[in-house]
Amino acid sequence: MTRGEWIAIAAFLSSILGWGINIGVVYASVQDHERRLEAQESKMDVLVPRVERIDANVTFLAERAREEREDRMK
């Protein structure tokens, strides 16, 4: 085999190695994102009931303020 063929083989192998490294980096990034999303979803499970309670309180207070305005206008 000539030196050019060895260089071509080495270039091919380094290209395959580069692809392998890139795939590993992308896979690690995807796993990290999945972990972070799961953490956010668990936080949302806690926040949703709180927001619903706040919304109910705001609705109640808005209705009460509307009734008080109507009573003052009478």
Using H for helix, E for strand and C for coil, what is the string for the chain?
CCHHHHHHHHHHHHHHHHHHHHHHHHHHHHHHHHHHHHHHHHHHHHHHHHHHHHHHHHHHHHHHHHHHHHHHHC
Residue 46 lies in a domain: yes
Number of structural domains the chain divides into: 1
Question: Percentage of the chain with pLDDT > 70?
Answer: 100
Residue 66 lies in a domain: yes
The mean pLDDT value of the chain amounts to 94
Q: What is the pLDDT of residues 5-22, one digit of tens each?
A: 999 999 999 999 999 999
Residue 58 lies in a domain: yes
Rounded to two decimals, what is the model's pTM? 0.56
- The whole-number pLDDT of residue 32 equals 97
* Total number of residues shown for the chain: 74
Residue 4 lies in a domain: no
The domain of 49 spans 27-74
Integer Cα distance of 18 and 15 in angstroms: 5
- The whole-number pLDDT of residue 61 equals 94
- The whole-number pLDDT of residue 1 equals 86
Residue 17 lies in a domain: no
The residue assigned the tokens 């990034």 is 29
